[in-house]
Amino acid sequence: MKATTAIAIIIVFIAGYIFGAFTATTTGTTTTLTEFRATTLIKTTSITTTRQITATTTIHETHMTTVPIGEAPGIVNGVCFSRPDRCDALIAELLGSAKHYAYVAVYSFTNDLLADALIELRNRDVDVKVVIEEQQVNVRGSEYMRLKNAGIDIKIDGNPDLMHHKFVVIDDQLVITGSYNWSMAAEDRNDENLVVISGEEVARLFRAEFERVWSEAR
């Protein structure tokens, strides 16, 4: 009986290490971004995770990651859902605020309004760069040649598989990302989401990813 009890205690002890610990605290409030709905402003969030990996009774690794989201990477300013909302109008409006650059990595690009917005930026001498997925270059309605002919620096991705990003980073300050492709299907037919994030740290991270993709593109 004593041996059985001791074994049970050991099993419970090991299970505690296997499952580890996770804590998260969030303080938030809601606001509204222009006319778009479901907008959330997050003031401070701190997420701490502890992962402990065990093999039998020996702990081989302990890894802790702390991400103070209130300081970095950024603040969520708004969200948009296509079909009920006009996400392309929101993107075009935010693109219009660019003063230095707008870098776009997007799987599919067939939306005339967004192409117009980038061409307008190019005409204002804003640095515009675009990478799109190779499989989408010649699809019906593709904006690839239109943007290229307008003098925009546009490349085809170099990933032998898919470049599935959908984001734009603006002026080291703003990131727009989500499931939403810059396509008419995303705007008019699909259920898609878009998130607007501001902050220098998150913009820096997305810009670094864009530059990595850009360096491999052709």
Catalytic residue selected from 116, 127, 164, 172:
164
In a 3-state reduction of DSSP, which class is residue 4?
helix
In the chain, the amino acid numbered 136 is Q
Of 63, 171, 172, 191, the catalytic one is 171
Task: Please pick, among 129, 155, 165, 166, the residue that the annotation labels catalytic.
Answer: 166
93: which 2 tokens? Answer: 């409006």
Based on the residue annotation, tell me whether 153 is a catalytic residue of this protein.
Answer: no
Whose CA is closest to 129, among 110, 94, 155, 99? 155
Q: Is 171 a catalytic residue?
A: yes
116 is catalytic: no
Q: What are the distances in angstroms from CA 169 to CA 100, 124, 165, 204?
A: 11, 17, 12, 9
Residue 155 tokens read as 């490349």
State the catalytic residues.
164, 166, 171
